[in-house]
Amino acid sequence: MGRIPPISRSAVAGAKNATVRECRSISMPTPASPLHASPNPDRTIMPFVVTDSCIQCKYTDCVEVCPMDCFRQGPNFLVIVPDNCIDCSMCVPECPVGAIYNETDLPPEQRHFIEINARLAAHPDWQPITRSQAPLPDHESWREVANKLEFLKLA
Ligand code: SF4
Ligand code: SF4
């Protein structure tokens, strides 16, 4: 897999009311090879995608059920490694805030998270998470907040 280009402004244009200064500034090094030891090397789209509701909450219930250890975590968000996901959908009902969608079911205003998941899954600082951990301290106050992309932290 080649170098992933920076997230474009158009890729995040669907994020209503969200400023994207942090995501626009993503500049990815060449992905580390372990993230690309893929059981599905020919996959070209995301199967399942973590979306806006996860930002600032990170409940992590989802990671316990994933048979492929697909999840990677940043400071306040989780993503799914697209090449590893086998479309089992087991993670979807585990998320208490409904943040995980099949790519084909994504609401139009959440489609920019396809690229965000793919890019952050290849970020060298976003490491695998396979065991549930405590949610972020202010998760209750963020739980019902929409359009949190501007708060996404990369490192
Ligand atoms: S369960 Fe949902 S909110 Fe929690 S980490 Fe997974 S995707 Fe994010
Ligand atoms: S759909 Fe299955 S394989 Fe894909 S991230 Fe969810 S639990 Fe893991």
Of residues 84 and 43, more confidence is placed in: 84
Report how far residue 53's alpha carbon sits from residue 44's, in angstroms, rounded to the nearest whole number.
25
Q: Topology of 10-151 in CATH?
A: Alpha-Beta Plaits (3.30.70)
pLDDT at 10 over 70: no
pLDDT band (50, 70, 90) for residue 24: very low
For ligand 1, atom 1, which residue shows the shortest CA distance?
A: 95
Ligand 2 centroid distance, CA of 135 (Å): 20
Q: What is the DSSP letter of 29?
A: P
Coil vs helix vs strand at 19: coil
pLDDT band (50, 70, 90) for residue 1: very low
What's the pLDDT score for residue 58? 80
Report how far residue 153's alpha carbon sits from residue 155's, in angstroms, rounded to the nearest whole number.
6
Domain residue extents for the chain = 10-151
What's the pLDDT score for residue 112? 95
Report how far residue 23's alpha carbon sits from residue 151's, in angstroms, rounded to the nearest whole number.
9
For ligand 1, atom 4, which residue shows the shortest CA distance?
A: 59
Which one-letter amino acid corresponds to residue 16? K
- By percentage, how much of the chain surpasses pLDDT 90? 61
For ligand 2, atom 4, which residue shows the shortest CA distance?
A: 85
Ligand 2 centroid distance, CA of 102 (Å): 10
- pLDDT tens-digit map of 69-117: 999 999 999 999 999 999 999 999 999 999 999 999 999 999 999 999 9
Report how far residue 139's alpha carbon sits from residue 12's, in angstroms, rounded to the nearest whole number.
24
pTM of the model: 0.75
105, two tokens: 């079911």
For ligand 1, atom 3, which residue shows the shortest CA distance?
A: 54
DSSP H or E segment with residue 139: helix 139-142
Contact criterion met (CB below 8 Å) for 19 and 150 = yes
With the most atoms of ligand 1 within 8 angstroms of its CB, the residue from 52, 53, 59 to mutate is 59
